[in-house]
Amino acid sequence: MYTDIKFNEYADKMLNQLTKGVFMTTKKGDKVNTMTIAWGSISFVWGKPIFIAFVRYTRDTYQMVEHADEFTISIPLNIDLKKELGYCGSKSGRDYDKIKECDLKLRDARVINTPILEDCEMHYECKVIYKQALEPGNILQSVKDRYYNTNNYHVVYYGEIVDSYLIKGEE
């Protein structure tokens, strides 16, 4: 059963889970991939609710979101998916079918073509409205030393949240 929510209604719970990881799912043709992200935020920009996600160029997700210009964010609130988040954050969709390997279940999104992970309770459906490559010259040296010592930078995606909801058990 779907329960519509405002994009920021569960912001504290979403941001708390984001520090542990949430799933970012993309779709290109028939291929669906998910990865764990722990960097991001929700915001309000240009009069729109936004989910901001950081994706490295080297990730399979980068190629997929570049093609589709959309993604979903699936957030486990009360379900322990620590093992699945760890797996999806350490394996590449080029080499593994992470959804199958983790026995995650897909469900069609309500507005966009990219599915959600029905194993999670909270979901954002996002359409990319802006993207920006991080400018290495503008990053504090201590941050570059810690996170970019191999020059593997991120692209920052601003996804307009076009739908946000909770999924509760089927009745």
Query: In the chain, how many domains are there?
Result: 1
- Is 60 exceeded by the pLDDT of residue 100? yes
115: domain CATH number is 2.30.110.10
In sequence order, which residues have a C-beta less than 8 Å from that of residue 2 and are 6 or more positions away? 110, 165, 166, 167
**What pLDDT score was predicted for residue 63?**
94
Mean pLDDT of all residues in 131-135 = 96
What percent of the chain shows pLDDT beyond 90?
A: 94
pLDDT of residue 155: 97
Three-state SS at 157 = strand
**What is the pTM (predicted TM-score) of this model?**
0.94
Check: CB of residue 49 under 8 Å from CB of residue 42: yes
Phi-psi sector, 21: left (phi>0), alpha (psi -120 to 50), beta: left
140-165 mean pLDDT: 96
Q: What is the pLDDT of residues 69-98, one digit of tens each?
A: 999 999 999 999 999 999 999 988 889 899
Tell me the residue range of the domain where 76 lies: 2-167
For 32, 116, 139, the CA distances from 122, given in Å and listed in that order, are: 19, 10, 32
Evaluate if residue 148 carries a pLDDT over 50: yes
- Evaluate if residue 170 carries a pLDDT over 50: no
pLDDT of the residue at 169: 58
- Asked whether the predicted pLDDT for residue 32 surpasses 60, the reply is yes
pLDDT given for residue 171 in this prediction:
34
Place of tokens 């990219």: 114
Mean pLDDT of 95-114: 95
